[in-house]
Amino acid sequence: MTLQEFFLLLMSVLASVTGQFFLKLGALKLDRVNLGNAVNLVLGIITTPELLTGLAFYGLGAVAYILLLTRVNLSVAGPSASLVYVFSVLLGYFIFKESIPSIRLIGLSLIVGGVILVVWQK
């Protein structure tokens, strides 16, 4: 993976994680969905600035990922994009004070190890 390709991957991952951050912030402002409040909840989604910001960042992440796909095989880009999961767990831990059980840490380690093996060049 070249430096330019790595930069596109990093942009895609960071934009997607930032999108998840804002989506979580916006979701915290909403009530739990049920049959009685579904319509109001949808209206709340399209009028909550954090949710719109999150969707915009997801869009930027998708654009960066598409650009990455023009340069890298899907068999490399796809697994590399799974780094979003790692950063999302860390975001949940540090920002939203969510716990990370040991088994989840093992899973995250496997993801990171797998990405390293996928992008490793001889």
Check residue 19 and give its pLDDT.
97
Check residue 38 and give its pLDDT.
82
Lowest mean pLDDT among 27-31, 80-84, 89-93: 27-31
Token pair 């915290």 is found at 28
Residue 1 — pLDDT band, cuts 50, 70, 90?
Answer: confident
Is the pLDDT assigned to residue 23 strictly greater than 90?
yes
- Residue among 54, 46, 63 nearest 22 (CA): 54
Q: What is the pTM of this model?
A: 0.87
For the chain, give the longest Cα–Cα distance.
Answer: 58
Residue 40 — pLDDT band, cuts 50, 70, 90?
Answer: confident
Dihedral sign, Cα of residue 18, residue 23, residue 26, residue 32? negative
